[in-house]
Structure 1
Amino acid sequence: MHVDDTSDWRDAKRRILENCERVVIKVGSAVLTSDRGLDLRVVNRLADQIAVLHDKGMEVVIVTSGAVAAGRRAIMHCKGCRDEGSLPARQAVSAIGQSRLMHEYDEAFFRYGKTTAQILLTRADFEDRARFLNARNTLRTLLDWRVIPIINENDTVAVAELKFGDNDTLASMVLSLVEADLFVNLTSAKGVFSENPEKNPAAKPLPVIEHIADLDIEAMCSGKTAVGSGGMYSKLLAARRAAQLAVPTLIVSGLTPFALEKAFEDDESGTLVLPAEHAVSRRKFWLAYHTRPAGQVWIDQGAATALRDRGKSLLAAGVTRVENDFNEGSLVRILDFQGQTIGVGLSNYSGKDLQTIMGLKTDDIARVLGPGLYAEVIHRDNMLLDPAL
């Protein structure tokens, strides 16, 4: 969906809100917490607004932060408990805070006759296809039962290599998991600005972003919020992933009173990120983002043109450099001759074998590695161009 000369972004937003049936709402730590820990007033106001949407028949999935902040508040009264910043300490604090966070959500929604369910996920739950589908089936059942799933990362068991890093990334993955048609990201900022407003007070607010794939997100964003782990950079990256799924994003201030209610009443605050005109398949989305790339493959200009402009698969002849000794079937990052990431995909060859055959014509691969091997290094069906990494 794109606005043109005969329509206005406000009309596009109105249509999006009118047609929304399933929404993922992400709530950041900077919204949910204060210097005293979890802010119960915010939790209750949020439940109030979400209950209104739910009563209108909308299916709502919440991706929430706040467990660590709630845990830190709790251990203030615990003798011998110290959060020294290590991974085990942070995981312990999260374990303490998660039950408290969920208790407050339960209490807040119970006042409106709503049932909630806690879902804790790690990247491994997305990486394993069977676990991914099982999580999807569970969430579908909960939504059919008119339950409000509340999702957080399972910090207690996730190792550093399998962490999402921030809940913006997790929320973008949940969009595909539940097949949502709208993403609302509640943050401490009043939407997206042309530059970082903390560094440039003259930065202009952007009411709409039509082509997020064309934005230089790194140039626009710098710095992170004091409480959260993502900042506007990760929110725009999540919105870019959502756009690839043809899911629009609303980035609004969760600190503004009744922000969520106003957003669904066609208020013009915040930023609307329009979806891409052509959605990628959910299978390709899963392939591209289920795990971090295990290595890098550099290609020449001819191969880059073939991938970008002609939708071709990557052949060994176009590979100029291989980094890391990844396994066959691993997700790898594809870089062009200038070092720019142009895609990710599943490699048919290990890093060691690919170093042996790079630059060779397809007919020569059998002579080097033996017969019966793949013609393509990465087939186009197992490749996503322009990933939001």
Structure 2
Amino acid sequence: MKEISDIRYEYIKDTKKIVIKIGTGVITDNAGYLDNKQIKGLAEQVIELKRRNFNVTVVSSGAIGCGMGELGLQKRPGTLPELQAVASIGQSKLISTYDSFFKSHGYHAAQILFTREDFENRKRYLNTCNTIHTLFRMNAIPVVNENDTISTDEIAFGDNDELSALVTNLIDADLLVILSSVDGLYDKQPEGESRAHVIPVVEHITHKTKQMAYNSKTLRGVGGMRTKLEAASIVTNAGEKVIIANGRHENVLLKIFQYEDIGTLFLPKNEKLTSRKRWIGYSKKSKGVVFVDEGACSALSKKGKSLLASGIVSIEGGFEKGDIVSICKGENDGVFARGLTNYSSEEIEKIKGCRASSIHKILGYKSYDEVIHRDNLVLI
């Protein structure tokens, strides 16, 4: 069996683009204030990676935690307006802190604030991708955060874990590093006298893996291991690697690129998704659900086929042609695919279960043989 260091070398050695997600608990102290010493250490490691010709994007939580510290709040606000107000106070402090440490080494912090709509709109999605790649050619380091002040989704996402995965897919990064307050994915609940061990390598993220998501969220962060595993699943399904490690370990980033046994490495699926399929599969919200029979499920998941009307049993929700829909085998089963539909929910209701040759007779026209073409379908 290969040594852990050999596995890490094999999967990390060709890395060029990195997304580094930094959690609230990594960069704030117990009182909620920014830990300048901690940020300085991470900033210096990011700069060192830039000097080694890595393209680095930082996704940093901490705006709400920082705002709480600035206001002297001991408890996370409970209402949306309060959360957004506290975030607006904290964000300026957060980005200025990164910028001051980067500037001391001749670099700039380039602030990018996202809302969910930036990922949903294909044009804005591509424009943002181009902006980040342009910043890579400058003495600048993109520092990304959810636009907490106007976005309601950040409260539901949990500690920017999903955002970091979406950014990884956006720029086709080779590796996502999630820096947290825990050492990695534990084999059991780390508490009391029971010794828990960090799992060094996870080959596949399964339902069983997700059951190991022991709660580890901090008072000022809203994420936990479950959201990190969901983020890791998005990235590895797209064909890239993820490492979850303790951001408070000395020189954690440099040790990762020395292939040391630190944190948990999640291995990618063999097939890399194209940028467009990453957008279809994970960036744009589903507008409805299409339920298919066993034969269609097998054709899609095992044979690489398109979805035909004959395999559709029922639908849920209202959607238009060109919307993204989720695909399930049954009402009690999870989503196994997503795709861009060629027909509206109203049209599919009429042609479900029918052969493609019958579509024109039923609708009076036939735009496509396929309800969802394979090129516009992603298995998740």
Name the amino acid aligned to 2:275: R
Q: Helix, strand or coil for the counterpart of 2:371?
A: coil
Residue 26 of structure 1 deviates from its aligned partner by 0.6
Runs of 4+ in structure 1 deviating by more than 6 angstroms, as ranges, are none
Matched with 2:217 is: 225
Matched with 1:59 is: 55
Residue 167 of structure 1 deviates from its aligned partner by 1.2
Matched with 2:322 is: 329
Matched with 2:313 is: 320
Indicate whether 1:123 and 2:119 are aligned: no
State the alpha-carbon separation in 2 of the partners of residues 223 and 357 from structure 1.
46
Name the amino acid aligned to 1:110: K
C-alpha contact 2:154 2:160 (8 A) present in aligned 1: no
Indicate whether 1:371 and 2:365 are aligned: yes
The structure 1 residue matched to 2:349, chosen from 347, 352, 355, is 355
CA 1:163–1:223 in 2, change beyond 3 Å: closer, same or farther?
A: closer
Residue 166 of structure 1 deviates from its aligned partner by 4.1
CA 1:350–1:232 in 2, change beyond 3 Å: closer, same or farther?
A: same
The structure 2 residue matched to 1:135, chosen from 121, 128, 133, is 128
Matched with 2:198 is: 205
The structure 2 residue matched to 1:300, chosen from 275, 280, 293, is 293
State the alpha-carbon separation in 1 of the partners of residues 366 and 178 from structure 2.
49
Q: Taking every aligned residue pair, what percent have the same amino acid on both sides?
A: 38
C-alpha contact 1:83 1:93 (8 A) present in aligned 2: no
Name the amino acid aligned to 2:357: D
C-alpha contact 2:116 2:153 (8 A) present in aligned 1: no
State the alpha-carbon separation in 2 of the partners of residues 199 and 247 from structure 1.
35
The structure 1 residue matched to 2:186, chosen from 172, 193, 202, is 193
Residue 179 of structure 1 deviates from its aligned partner by 2.5
Q: Which runs of structure 2 are paired with 1:82-161 in the superposition (5 Å)?
A: 84-160=77-153
| Larger mean Cα displacement after TM superposition, 195-204 or 371-380 | 195-204
The structure 2 residue matched to 1:32, chosen from 17, 21, 27, is 27
Name the amino acid aligned to 1:29: T
Residue 224 of structure 1 deviates from its aligned partner by 5.0
The structure 1 residue matched to 2:208, chosen from 216, 220, 240, is 216
Residue 162 of structure 1 deviates from its aligned partner by 11
The two structures have a TM-score, normalised by structure 2, of 0.91
Matched with 1:270 is: 263
Residue 164 of structure 1 deviates from its aligned partner by 4.8
C-alpha contact 1:32 1:39 (8 A) present in aligned 2: yes
CA 1:166–1:323 in 2, change beyond 3 Å: closer, same or farther?
A: farther
Name the amino acid aligned to 2:338: V
State the alpha-carbon separation in 1 of the partners of residues 141 and 154 from structure 2.
29
State the alpha-carbon separation in 2 of the partners of residues 323 and 367 from structure 1.
24
State the alpha-carbon separation in 2 of the partners of residues 161 and 381 from structure 1.
31
Name the amino acid aligned to 1:323: E
Q: Helix, strand or coil for the counterpart of 1:372?
A: coil
CA 1:46–1:336 in 2, change beyond 3 Å: closer, same or farther?
A: same
State the alpha-carbon separation in 1 of the partners of residues 311 and 172 from structure 2.
36
**Deviation sequence 1:341-364 (CA, Å, 0-9, x none):** 211111222223222222222222
Name the amino acid aligned to 1:384: V
Residue 365 of structure 1 deviates from its aligned partner by 2.2
Q: Which runs of 5+ in 2 are unaligned?
A: none
C-alpha contact 2:170 2:275 (8 A) present in aligned 1: no
State the alpha-carbon separation in 2 of the partners of residues 202 and 295 from structure 1.
45
State the alpha-carbon separation in 2 of the partners of residues 373 and 161 from structure 1.
39
RMSD: 2.3
| Larger mean Cα displacement after TM superposition, 171-180 or 278-287 | 171-180
CA 1:382–1:162 in 2, change beyond 3 Å: closer, same or farther?
A: farther
State the alpha-carbon separation in 2 of the partners of residues 161 and 350 from structure 1.
30
The structure 2 residue matched to 1:47, chosen from 39, 43, 52, is 43
The structure 1 residue matched to 2:166, chosen from 165, 173, 192, is 173
Matched with 2:279 is: 286
State the alpha-carbon separation in 2 of the partners of residues 162 and 253 from structure 1.
23
CA 1:367–1:201 in 2, change beyond 3 Å: closer, same or farther?
A: farther
C-alpha contact 1:122 1:162 (8 A) present in aligned 2: no
**Deviation sequence 1:132-152 (CA, Å, 0-9, x none):** 111111111111013111111
State the alpha-carbon separation in 1 of the partners of residues 216 and 7 from structure 2.
30
Residue 325 of structure 1 deviates from its aligned partner by 1.5
State the alpha-carbon separation in 2 of the partners of residues 379 and 162 from structure 1.
35
C-alpha contact 1:223 1:231 (8 A) present in aligned 2: yes
The two structures have a TM-score, normalised by structure 1, of 0.89
Matched with 1:340 is: 334
Residue 208 of structure 1 deviates from its aligned partner by 0.8
State the alpha-carbon separation in 1 of the partners of residues 286 and 216 from structure 2.
24
